[in-house]
Structure 1
Amino acid sequence: MYQIKTFNAISPVGLATFTAEYQINQKDAQPDAYLIRSVDLHEHDFPRSLKAIGRCGAGYNNIPLERASEQGIAVFNTPGGNANAVKELVLAMMILANRQVIAAANWTNQVQPGADITLEAAKSQFNGQELLGKRLAVIGLGHVGSLVANAAVNLGMEVIGYDPYLSADAAWQLSREIHRAPSLAAVVDQADFITVHVPKNEETTGMIDQELISQFKPTAVLLNFARHGIVDNQAVIDALNTKRLRWYSTDFSDALIHGHPRVTILPHLGGSTVEAEANCARMAAKAVMTYLTTGNLINSVNLPALQTPFASPERITLIHRNIPNMLGQISSLIAQHQINIENLANRAKADFAYTIVDVSDFANPDQQAALIQELAQIPAVSRVRLIHQPRGGNK
């Protein structure tokens, strides 16, 4: 029986994905896995029993990945699980920026009921523009960016995208009407809207800076529904105040931009739909179950993707440092116990690697325990697990 501990409010739809072999929040149980949303785990002490963390969402900056890897914990996220929700919100904010919907609604609510003549006479001050024919620049064409780009094409917009790391799979998802820009400067040139959809890392932090914003049209609208810190908010305020930018919409609050009349800030609503929360929880649950029961890795953010069918009833998995001679040490110890290797798979990601070894049957439980203990004592090994092939055959 596997024990799952949840943090935050996890969608019941996702929790229902767990089979009868899993218990959720069993009191005093040692958890095999966490299912989390936004809880900050950087100061959290992980119990030795913990083998996996499923993050119900795409971002994972609330998880200490290096420490998780050192303690042999696989971390998973749910890329694309909330992509449609974010796409819809971005489209909504583009419409709001162009049609002055919020300002018009606020003004109307202040007018006495029944003042139809006043309303009709004053509505011209809220004249807006249509999205049809406008140019949209999409920076980052992954799960969310590609959906936004395709939807904008369907709305009759001219769409140009920039993504130097665009995968072949992602490229297949894009409409042929989307133009590809060779640089950031080229993608923002003459754009009426600029929306950013990239992960936050050293390369992307502050990428929308003063220099790039200076190349925008003064009438442009900037949208950031990706991550806080990708846009330099001081540069945004400077551009708004000097009329080098028309509007800024974002999902991330900051004292620098709070209260500005041409900034719309939402309370991180991007993935806050019933459907998105269910999708993400379901994806996280499936990734955690797959890992615990088969050792296969899907959507891991700290370990490499690795999936292989069972070649024998017994499987040994190891999380270890990505250093020379690890496979030699592992194979040598297994051979010393006169156990045959039926299949071996190994893959690395940055400083850590993951190895799956399918072995022939052990002679007895003592031999089994001795080998697992010896493998765990290899200095660079973080975690060793012995997994029996699930009922029903290969998975």
Structure 2
Amino acid sequence: MKILVTELMWDDGIEALRKKGYTVDYDMELSRKRDELLQMLPEYDALIVRNETRVDPEFLEAAKNAKVIGRLGVGLDNIDLEAAKVRNMPVISAKNANATSVAEYVMAAMLDASRPLSDADADVRRGNWDRKFFTGYELHNRTLGLVGMGEIAHRVAKRAHAFGMNVIGYDPFVAPFDHVVQETGVHPAETLDELLDESDFVSVHVPLTKGTKHMINKDNLPLMKSHAYIINSARGGIVHEQDLVEAVQSGKLAGAYLDVLETEPVEKGSQLAKVESIRLSPHIAGLTDEAQSRTAMLIAREVDNVLNGRKSICAVV
């Protein structure tokens, strides 16, 4: 059987599939060659994608012989799940494989905001020795607000607690006795507005849906403290980017760490890229060697399960 991988996948996952006897064709740039991709799809029994490949009705129609689609990650906004259901096409995701890496990215962002060591290094190399300017602050006793209280938020909270931070969370789908409240110790906020008002850092951990698109915007950004930061490692579009730029430029907000953007890669002339205290990274929060190895191996295993008539523990559809 033949498997097509359209985006970046770690070698160990590809080799695991080949050792099981599959023919694996791999082109990490194929997601950007739409016409070529559509022509190739009918040849394959399974497809493995990431976040750039648009799995829509046209894609699914072309993939008429495929028996499963594996998603190297957990975000599903590039996959039309309803269309997949109509075609009885199983979709599997790499459930929790990169959660630790994303949690550590959030901690790195907060540490960078409180103690900007790279900026201090650059300043010293310019011949300066400004100890007062680079006097930072402790994370201890600061408040971290988690928008969304799923598995990644749970892991962020554990690490934040180790630093002595207060952790609150907003998630209308979390019940009072769920583990993130009872066991992890995240104090639930009644509303998003309450969370924004109380937090020194706000970290976003929700999927991009009609209900979450631009949920942080000019109407609620003014509620935040002027020294606060927003960290978005979830999906671009949850934070309204132009509203964020205006809030930071006007001094109503200290800054932001954005790993995800509405348009990726960043557009030429983007206002975001012109604001120094809005730090940008190229969608790498979950992109560590360990996480990508786990992701590749998990998807390889689950694709093999489906192709051999077994159920997948990571099935989304």
TM bracket (short chain): 0.7 to 0.9
Given candidates 27, 37, 41, the residue that maps to 2:50 is 37
1:176/1:269 Cα in 2 relative to 1: closer, same or farther (>3 Å)?
closer
Deviation per CA, 1:148-191: give whole Å up to 9, x if none: 11110111001111111127996268645321112112222221
Cα distance in structure 2, aligned partners of 1:4 and 1:249: 36
Secondary structure class of the residue paired with 1:69: helix
**Structure with more strand by fraction:** 1
Cα distance in structure 2, aligned partners of 1:205 and 1:82: 23
Residue 149 of structure 1 aligns to which amino acid in structure 2?
A
Q: Does the aligned pair in 2 maintain the 1:135–1:190 contact within 8 Å? A: yes
Greater Cα radius of gyration, structure 1 or 2: 1
Shift of residue 39, structure 1, vs aligned partner:
4.0
**Under a length normalisation based on structure 1, what TM-score does the superposition of the two structures give?**
0.68
2:4 matched to which residue of 1?
5
Residue 297 of structure 2 aligns to which amino acid in structure 1?
R
Give the alignment's Cα RMSD to 1 decimal: 2.5
Q: Does 1:218 align with 2:229?
A: no
Cα distance in structure 1, aligned partners of 2:277 and 2:180: 37
Cα distance in structure 2, aligned partners of 1:297 and 1:23: 18
- Report how many residues are paired: 293
Shift of residue 293, structure 1, vs aligned partner:
1.7
What is the percentage of aligned positions where both structures have the same residue?
A: 28
1:159 matched to which residue of 2?
167
Cα distance in structure 2, aligned partners of 1:227 and 1:20: 35
Secondary structure class of the residue paired with 2:62: coil
Structure 2 gaps, min length 5: 27-39
Deviation per CA, 1:269-313: give whole Å up to 9, x if none: 111111111111122122222222234243233x2xxxxxxxxxx
1:56/1:71 Cα in 2 relative to 1: closer, same or farther (>3 Å)?
same
**Greater relative contact order: 1 or 2 (C-alpha under 8 angstroms, separation 6 or more)?**
2
Given candidates 237, 262, 267, the residue that maps to 2:277 is 262
Cα distance in structure 2, aligned partners of 1:26 and 1:233: 37
Cα distance in structure 2, aligned partners of 1:26 and 1:123: 55
2:136 matched to which residue of 1?
128
Shift of residue 232, structure 1, vs aligned partner:
0.8
Residue 288 of structure 2 aligns to which amino acid in structure 1?
T
Pairing of 1:1-395 with structure 2 (within 5 A): 2-18=1-17, 21-25=20-24, 30-42=43-55, 44=59, 46-111=62-127, 118-119=128-129, 122-166=130-174, 171=179, 175-253=183-261, 254=266, 255-301=270-316, 303=317
**Under a length normalisation based on structure 2, what TM-score does the superposition of the two structures give?**
0.84
Secondary structure class of the residue paired with 2:131: helix
Secondary structure class of the residue paired with 1:159: strand
Q: Does the aligned pair in 2 maintain the 1:146–1:173 contact within 8 Å? A: no
Q: Does the aligned pair in 2 maintain the 1:85–1:271 contact within 8 Å? A: yes
